[in-house]
Amino acid sequence: MFKKKIRVSSGVSQLDRQLGGLFIGDNVVWYDNAGSLASTFSLNFIQESQRQNKPLIYITFDRSPKTLLEDLGPLAENQHLTILDCFTHGKGDGSEVFSKFYEKDGAQWPHKMVRVNAPGDPEVVSDAVYSLHGTMKGDVRFVFDSLTGMQDLWGGEEAIGKFYSHACPRLYELDTIAYWIMEKGAHSDRLRASINQIAQVAIDLTVNRGKSALTILKADKRRPDALNSPLIYWNDGLDVAFETETGKGGNIDLGGRIKQIRKRQAMPQKELAALVGVTPSTISQIETGTIYPSLPALFKIAQVLNVSVAAFFQDRSDAIGQVVFSGGGTRISLPDLPKPDAAGYRLSPADFDADAEPYLIEIPAGKKLSAHFFIHKGQEMGYLLDGSIELKIGNRLYAATPGDVIYLTREIPSQWKNTGKETARLLWVKIRK
């Protein structure tokens, strides 16, 4: 009888869109050309599994339990995580240095740790994997880190080829999802071809000229538009963003997106350049697409603009469903006004596109502003929360007290003055048409 495939998330939303998501039963092979690229995607997969309260078994051959727990960080503090330690008596050779780890009272660990005493025998490892699985319910998740480590311990490709060819069909029938990580350069084309034939999903990760690229080599029962096409991506910790979004008109204009967010912060290029530690010319070239920012520069730009790196690769549809934004207002520049004269705070994230932009404007007691807060290009309106305000438009003066609404269409004030003895606070909204 036909069994409907259940689609789940990889934990990376943009990868889900490119790939078409994961299916229960998937064996996902990650070919890592640099040896460290797959980690970000594995950690997101673990985080997503924990969010769904799904049991996950992490099989480690290359890293000691202590090192692995440090790499997992907060993700290790989870009762649904089980670590199958094939390192201590494998590459660790049973050394006291690694065995001492178990002197800590294991009952106090939030996770479960299982040590395999003879990981050099593939049958012993196989029995340990399926014995653990038998104690768990639901669609169990696996991370095999790594096939390359298995090969080093088992003495050749034939052993891991045999293990993999037996494990994948069985894990598929057991309704699991498994990530298999291997260093691409450490294995023959013949082995990779054999693995690709069995896997449901195969993904290649490379670095070329400082750019990370992800290529979907295979995706059973899915038809990704980007199949066999390298997708440039950036990652900042667990945050992953793709330069290209399939189905959205091709390349995202990274420089234009940075410029858009910078201008929403009302931050001049010169100020952004100084805070990032580059020249204004560099920022100008980045925004016009003449040059690409380095990874450190991109992360610094995101930090200064108070957005995630992913925000530079998203469009309006990525955040359109968000309802509540946390974190309060972000201080912005008011370039036409001296800094002591007024303070402005953008109340919505700088990377969020909407038809209205809300701000909080504060004018100290007794201050007179010789210009409007913003370069006026459309309708604006404000609600006076506290204080007393006098504004001059043309030759006319208008007074406002708390609770009054100020509405601007074509003309803007040439002067604002706080006529009270306390800071005037305005909830101000720029309306875009």
Q: For 185-220, what is each residue's pLDDT tens digit? A: 888 899 999 999 999 999 999 987 667 889 999 999
pTM: 0.62
What's the confidence (pLDDT) of residue 433? 58
Q: 332 falls in which pLDDT band (50, 70, 90)?
A: confident
Q: Which has more confidence, 136 or 221? A: 136
**CB neighbours (10 Å) of residue 266?**
19
What's the confidence (pLDDT) of residue 250? 45
Q: Which two tokens stand for residue 354?
A: 């909407």
As a whole-number percent, the residues of the chain with pLDDT over 70 amount to 91
How far, in Å, CA of 272 to CA of 261, rounded? 11
Angle at 260 between CA 214 and CA 300, to 5 degrees: 60
Q: Which has more confidence, 420 or 410? A: 420
Cis peptide before 146 (omega within 30 of 0): yes
3-state secondary structure of 415: strand
Residue 2 has pLDDT above 70, yes or no: no
Average pLDDT of span 349-364: 80
Dihedral sign, CA of 285, 291, 293, 294?
A: negative
Cβ burial, residue 302 (10 Å; 0-12/13-18/19+): buried
What's the confidence (pLDDT) of residue 317? 44
Q: Which two tokens stand for residue 399?
A: 């007074």
Average pLDDT of span 352-369: 85
How far, in Å, CA of 384 to CA of 388, rounded? 8
What's the confidence (pLDDT) of residue 248? 39
Q: Give the model confidence (pLDDT) of 396-411 as tens digits.
A: 999 999 999 999 888 8
Residue 230 has pLDDT above 80, yes or no: yes
What does 187-206 look like in DSSP terms, one character per residue? S-HHHHHHHHHH-SEEEEEE
Q: Which has more confidence, 297 or 377? A: 297
In the numeric block, the tokens 């480690």 are attached to 60
How far, in Å, CA of 126 to CA of 142, rounded? 13
Q: 162 falls in which pLDDT band (50, 70, 90)?
A: very high
As a whole-number percent, the residues of the chain with pLDDT over 90 amount to 45
CA of residue 81 relative to chain centroid, distance: 22
How far, in Å, CA of 166 to CA of 89, rounded? 24
What's the confidence (pLDDT) of residue 245? 45
Dihedral sign, CA of 415, 419, 425, 428?
A: negative
Residue 105 has pLDDT above 70, yes or no: no
What's the confidence (pLDDT) of residue 251? 55
Residue 318 has pLDDT above 60, yes or no: no
Q: Are 314 and 282 in contact (CB under 8 A)?
A: no
What's the confidence (pLDDT) of residue 3? 57
How far, in Å, CA of 201 to CA of 179, rounded? 9
How far, in Å, CA of 140 to CA of 180, rounded? 15
How far, in Å, CA of 2 to CA of 155, rounded? 40
How far, in Å, CA of 104 to CA of 67, rounded? 15
